[in-house]
Amino acid sequence: MLSKYYKINSNSKIKFLFVGGTLPRKGIDVLLKAFVKTYTKHDPVSLVIKDIGGDTFYQGQNAQEQISTLLQNPDAPEIIYITEDISEEEMASLYRACDVFVSSYRGEGFCLPALEAMACGLPVIVTDGGATDDFVDEFVGWKIESKPKLIKLNEEKTFVKDTYFLEPDEESLIKIFEDIINNPNYIKHLGYVANYKARKFWTWEKATLKMYTRLDYLYNTNLSKDYANQIKDVDDDFTKIGEAEYLINIGDAESAIPILDSISDPELINYVKLIKAMLFTQEGNYDEVNNLVADLDYEKFKFDIDYLKILKLLSEENLVEAIELLNPLVTDWQTHKWETNYVISLDFLINMVGDIVYMMEDYVYAEKIYDSGIELAPSNISLSLGKAKCKFNLGSSEDALSILNKLKDDYPDFEEIDNLISEMEEYQ
Give the Cα separation of 15 and 200 in Å (integer): 25
Report the C-alpha gap between 76 and 223 in whole angstroms: 55
Question: Distance (Å, rounded) from C-alpha 105 to C-alpha 114?
Answer: 11
When computed from its CA atoms, the radius of gyration of the chain, rounded to whole angstroms, is: 25
Task: Report the candidate in 338, 335, 288, 333 with the shortest Cα–Cα distance to residue 308.
Answer: 288
Nearest CA to 125 out of 183, 175, 185 is that of: 175
Dihedral class, residue 395 (left if φ above 0, else alpha if ψ from -120 to 50, else beta): left
Residue 101 DSSP SS3:
strand
- The pLDDT score that the predictor gives to residue 56 is 67
| Domain 14-184 CATH superfamily | Glycogen Phosphorylase B; (3.40.50.2000)
Q: How many helices (H) and strands (E) in the chain? A: 20, 8
Sign of the alpha-carbon torsion through 315, 316, 319, 320: negative
Q: Give the β-pairing of 146-150 and 164-168.
A: antiparallel
**Residue 162 confidence (pLDDT):** 86
Q: What share of the chain is helix, strand, coil (3-state, %, to 5)?
A: 55, 10, 35
pTM (predicted TM-score): 0.92
Each of the 428 residues of the chain gets a pLDDT tens digit; together they read 334 567 899 999 999 999 999 999 999 999 999 999 999 999 999 999 999 976 667 676 788 888 989 888 999 999 999 999 889 999 999 999 999 999 999 999 999 999 999 999 999 999 999 999 999 999 999 999 999 999 887 767 778 888 899 999 999 999 999 999 999 999 999 999 999 999 999 999 999 999 999 999 999 999 999 899 999 888 899 999 999 999 999 999 999 999 999 999 999 999 999 999 999 999 999 999 999 999 899 999 999 999 999 999 999 999 999 999 999 999 999 999 999 999 999 999 999 999 999 999 999 999 999 999 999 999 999 999 999 999 999 999 999 999 999 999 999 999 999 999 999 988 86
For 15, phi then psi, to 5°, come to -110, 115
Predicted pLDDT of residue 6? 74
Handedness of CA 358, 362, 363, 364 (dihedral sign): negative
Residue 2: its pLDDT value, please? 39
Contact 319, 360 (CB under 8 A): yes
Same fold, 14-184 and 237-427: no
Max distance between CA atoms of the chain, in angstroms, equals 76
What is the DSSP track for 181-245? HH-TTHHHHHHHHHHHHHHHHSSHHHHHHHHHHHHHHHH---HHHHHHTT-----SHHHHHHHHH
Beta strands in 272-406 (DSSP E): none
pLDDT of residue 5: 66
Which pLDDT does position 1 carry in this prediction?
A: 39
CATH architecture of 237-427: Alpha Horseshoe (1.25)
DSSP for 373-411, please give it.
HHHH-TT-HHHHHHHHHHHHHTT-HHHHHHHHHHHHHH-
Domain ranges of the chain: 14-184, 237-427
CA angle (360, 362, 364) in 5-degree steps: 155
